[in-house]
Structure 1
């Protein structure tokens, strides 16, 4: 698990697109024009920050600069904004879920990330979090889609996921560890052994 600091990320963002940039507007327009692209993501956080990313190059390989941007976006904002290199397959899963939901909805919808990477200290402080949570390893995200129940997100994920799907009252947990599912806010996810 590679950790990186804000300074490292900011130094590596020369090729990135940020809100207000023409490249960012072009990326957002591209996403809206092709809602079924499984190589791009539109993510938001509760504070209103968002990222639009095409994380695979034309050959299908991961674009490392975009994975870096997405990993930084998924940082633990509750623990000193610490980040790790997120598992790129998580972005494939999120893009597939987003693409499936866009096909049903008729237009792309951003995924609201309520939790991405979590530091071990932050994870330990959460009441119902698994001790070996996939969030700690950069393998998981908790997401919402405005206008859709968590069960709709879980259903979309069930068609494309080989990992964990957790259904909660206000969000859906998605990870790329092993196939398993659970439901209900009071129920903890099964403890995986990494």
Structure 2
């Protein structure tokens, strides 16, 4: 498996990044985060998530943020779980995506494990999917580690999509027929 941790958004020269507030401020300056999302992003405490990659059965359950910063080891494990299973290739996932999952899950009052149908997609994988379906964007945020398609056991996709859209923390796509929701940490939009 190939991992590209030298460009990890939470690390700098192999040292856990303490500049997360600067990243959050830059995101806010470019309109990528709303004020409530920004306030929560810089708040102290812990944040945790639980995800299971449907195709591989790989999972992560634990804290990814503590003491005012992202946990580098947890992010590396999440990168591996959310890798492109067809090519066995991982990329540094944008940690703000985990904040989106965490916030939506809190809003829904759930502590269940997210089932992840699609997360990181290598450009080759995304191009192949785009040739098969017009619903797949050729410039998908999946290729940047900023998006995933997921479902939460016991919750309908419409309820998840509504909660995420109300929070306005990124893109929300409802795929009701397929039973999943697309969540990303890009610009606020819905489909």
TM-score where L is the length of structure 2: 0.70
1:123–1:38 Cα change, 3 Å: farther
1:156 counterpart = 2:163: yes
- What RMSD, in angstroms, separates the aligned Cα atoms of the two structures? 1.9
Higher relative contact order (Cα pairs below 8 Å, separated by 6+ residues): 2
Query: What secondary structure, in the 3-state scheme, does the structure 2 residue paired with 1:4 have?
Result: coil
Query: Pick from 135, 143, 146: which aligns with 2:150?
Result: 143
- Runs of at least 4 residues off by over 6 Å: none
State the partner residue of 1:41: 49
Q: d(CA) in 1 for partners of 2:120 and 2:46? A: 22
Q: How many residues align?
A: 144
Query: What secondary structure, in the 3-state scheme, does the structure 1 residue paired with 2:116 have?
Result: strand
Query: What secondary structure, in the 3-state scheme, does the structure 2 residue paired with 1:130 have?
Result: coil
Instruction: Give deviations 1:33-56, integer Å, cap 9, x for gaps.
Output: xxxx97100111224332102011
State the partner residue of 2:61: 52
Instruction: Identify the structure with the greater helix proportion.
Output: 2
Query: What secondary structure, in the 3-state scheme, does the structure 2 residue paired with 1:117 have?
Result: coil
Deviation at 1:165, TM superposition (A): 0.3
Structure 1: any 5+ residue segments left out of the alignment?
7-36, 183-194
Q: d(CA) in 2 for partners of 1:67 and 1:49? A: 14
TM-score where L is the length of structure 1: 0.69
Q: d(CA) in 1 for partners of 2:47 and 2:96? A: 11
Q: d(CA) in 1 for partners of 2:140 and 2:89? A: 16
Instruction: Identify the structure with the greater strand proportion.
Output: 2
Structure 2: any 5+ residue segments left out of the alignment?
6-44
Query: What secondary structure, in the 3-state scheme, does the structure 2 residue paired with 1:135 have?
Result: helix
1:173 counterpart = 2:182: yes
Q: Is the 8 A contact 1:42 1:110 kept in 2?
A: yes
Q: d(CA) in 1 for partners of 2:79 and 2:167? A: 21
